[in-house]
Amino acid sequence: MQITIKQTGTEDQTYQAEEGKTILENLAAQGLRLDAPCGGRGKCGKCIVKADGALEPPDAAEQKLIDEFPGKRLSCTAKVAGDVTVTLEDQVLFSSIKAMGWSAPYEINPPLQEIELEILDRQDPTGCLDVRNITTHNIEALNEIATVDATYSRGRALVWLDELLHAWPVSADNDYSTGPLAAAFDLGTTGLALAVIDLKEKKVIALETALNPQTAKGGDVISRITEADYGKQNLLDLQSMALEGLASMVEPAVGLEVGRKISAAVISGNSTMQHLLAAVNPKGLAQAPYRPVFTHMLDISHLAERLNISPRAKVLMAPMISSYVGGDIVSGILAVQLKSRPGTVVFIDVGTNGEIVISRGGKLVATSCAAGPALEGMNILCGARAQTGAVDTFTMEEDLSFKYTTIGGAPAMGICGSALIDITAFLIKHKIINKAGRMRDPAGKEILKDNRFWLTDKVFLDQLDVRQVQLAKGAIAAAMEMLMERLGMTLKDIDEIVIAGSFGYHLRAESLKTIKLIPPDFEGPVTFVGNSSLAGSARLLLNRDSPAEALSYTREVEVIELGFDPKFQQVFVNHLAFWSPLPSGAPVFAGHPDLPDFRSFRSSEVPELPAHSAAPRGAALRPPRAPAAGVFLCLACPAPRRRACGESRWLNPD
């Protein structure tokens, strides 16, 4: 079921909604909030909205406040019972900084449980663990349960399924009196996210985000793999950076003391991030046949203490599918229940790596591409992560006046990924960016200053930033087109496009269509699910059937490696423009009359990325082919310098 928000001056937004939750709660789950002065207690009437569709009938208290306003409901008390449309008239919709991704409903029966240890029968010689059907390889836990049983007192224990994690006598003060806590982590190439979950109350009690410290070693997975391969210490340094980044979120989320009560964690990241976190050399991911060392749910409980959680916590990483379709995508597929969504669904996870999974007739096919971190607000001159003050939405009117919002309503300090897409889209619409991506003042108007579009006297969009958007969206759109072509699909076959990503809530479908990240002619629903990697991690902690389901995807999902397809380069170039791509097979290298003049990129416009970081993955990993005369093969690293760039020796050992 869905909730659609209508607001004058902006495009309608449709989100997944959960039955039985109020409009306010459903919006909050999407990282959006309305002003609710009484704290959502149904007392002030300030959260009143025009609401149509399937809502539970108002109770007497709500009825009293809405009596004089036919067609309106209190968003803090009106519960969703089906598809709902909410029209905002006077209210302002704020976006909050941190948001949990959306997950399809599921039963909550966590594998982590606090159990009673009954006093043992003094005559029964059965082993302390055997009598309780639990087990462990942890000697400390064995000694703890021995102590509890030796005193013939009652005790309590934390177990992960049948594995004993920790035991203590009930008479002593213990750290678990508030019930077990769990931590869901998203380990992105650029961004990190944490959700702390109270398993007793069955709710998320804190959310936090951070920048992955590994970005200091390069913005993309290839540079991290290269760095890790320089030596064991480099690999350990990258592991430490990831651990420190994840651990850094615990204190601001719940404080260190509560953090020590977190007794289970699941971490979802792409395959490179998960290899680095475990300090397993990821070199094989970047060399034919592009093989991960492991794909199972790796137990890294020995690293628990370095995450600022209980040193006895169970820590697992989500299972992975292949070298470039990792645990974050498995978690995403799990969270949105991609396989069971009706019809043909295209799932796109927009991040530093773009992953696309198509669900069709119960079959899942996936691919990935390197998009670069631009759409996460990185490598942009005024780029920002989704943090207080980051511009997150932007609109422009016909008279070229514009409005923007910032996260938390703070003064604008930078542009995050969603606004970058919006700004680019509106500047294209008003012909300030042409179809080839060049910024120019429209005829008779002076909008740009120093060839930059200024939102404030400090925050601007530069030509370089537009090029970054082109590289990112070009890679994702090309990967989607090729995957569809491999499956013999056309646009008409798609019933739904699901967009995931840490910024996913604040995106507009129209902007994605204008920049041609998704096909502009697609008329079906575009659903934003937010950080599905984080939502999937949480699901793995809250539902004991989910780990088996996640593991089944590692066997079921067919992966198509586009990097092996020489056509990818051609399709990628096709998709760099801001117009509809040429039909597949068009003679792009032969000088199609409609081709954007990318050969005319000025050297000052070539984005300063780490070598190859935004190039299509296949192009980066395979030995370079001889470039066709005058044609860019690697826009992150201009063709003439390709073999001379820092990476080329490693990329082409010959």
Interface with ligand FES by CB under 6 A: which residues?
36-38, 40, 42-47, 74, 76
Smaller CB separation from ligand FES, 29 or 36:
36
Q: Which is nearer to ligand FES, 37 or 587 (CB)?
A: 37
Distance linking the first and last C-alpha atoms of the chain: 56
Least Å distance, CB 432 to ligand FES, is 40
Spacing of C-alpha 327 from chain mean position: 11
CB of 94 to ligand FES, least distance (A): 14
Buried b / exposed e across 400-438, counting CB within 10 Å, b at 16+? eebebbbbeeeebbbbbbbbbbbbbbbbbebebbbebbb
* Nearest distance in Å: CB 566, ligand FES: 58
What is the residue type of 33?
A: R
**In the complex with ligand FES, which residue's Cβ is closer, 75 or 468?**
75
State in angstroms the smallest separation of the CB of 72 from ligand FES: 12
Pick between residue 66 and residue 497 the one whose CB is nearest to ligand FES: 66
CA 327/CA 568 separation, integer angstroms: 25
Sheet of strand 112-117, all strands in order from the earlier edge strand to the far edge: 112-117, 155-160, 163-169
Q: Which is nearer to ligand FES, 46 or 50 (CB)?
A: 46
Query: Is 63 or 171 the residue whose CB approaches ligand FES more closely?
Result: 63
Q: Which is nearer to ligand FES, 75 or 367 (CB)?
A: 75
CB of 93 to ligand FES, least distance (A): 14
Question: Among 481, 550, 556, 473, which residue's Cα sits nearest to residue 515?
Answer: 473
**What is the rounded radius of gyration, in angstroms, for the C-alpha atoms of the chain?**
26
CB of 73 to ligand FES, least distance (A): 10
Q: Give the rounded distance of the alpha carbon of 518 from its chain centre.
A: 17
Q: What is the rounded CA–CA span in Å between residue 171 and residue 189?
A: 46
| Minimum distance from residue 12 beta carbon to ligand FES (Å) | 23
36 vs 378, which CB is nearer to ligand FES?
A: 36
Helix residue spans in 264-366 (DSSP H): 271-277, 327-336
294 DSSP 8-state letter:
-
Question: Collapsing DSSP states into helix, strand and coil, what is residue 114?
Answer: strand
The SS3 of residue 194 is: strand
CA distance 490 to 481: 9
Judged by beta carbon, residue 5 or residue 167, the one nearer ligand FES is 5
Nearer to ligand FES, 76 or 316 (CB): 76
CB of 45 to ligand FES, least distance (A): 5
Least separation in angstroms between residue 102's CB and ligand FES is 23
Contact between residue 404 and residue 394 where contact means Cβ atoms under 8 Å apart: yes
Of 71 and 255, which CB lies nearer to ligand FES in the complex structure?
71
- How many CB atoms lie under 10 A from the CB of residue 135? 15
Cβ distance to ligand FES smaller for residue 42 or 563: 42
Q: Of 40 and 319, which CB lies nearer to ligand FES in the complex structure?
A: 40
Distances in whole angstroms, Cα of residue 601 to Cα of each of 443, 451, 591, 598, 638 = 22, 15, 16, 5, 10
Which of 225, 203, 238 lies closest to 271 in space, CA to CA? 225
Determine the residue type at 424.
T
Minimum distance from residue 68 beta carbon to ligand FES (Å): 15
Query: Taking the complex as a whole, how short is the minimal distance between the CB of residue 32 and ligand FES, in angstroms?
Result: 15
Q: Which residue from 274, 158, 270, 258 is spatially nearest to 208, judged by alpha carbons? A: 258
Contact 636, 613 (CB under 8 A): yes
Please state the closest distance from residue 34 (CB atom) to ligand FES, in A: 8
Say which DSSP state 383 is in. Answer: B
With b meaning 16 or more CB within 10 Å and e meaning fewer, what string describes 461-470?
bbbbbbbbbb
Q: Which two tokens stand for residue 464?
A: 């370089």
Could you tell me how many residues make up the chain?
654
Which amino acid makes up residue 582? L
What's the min distance (Å) between Cβ of 15 and ligand FES? 19
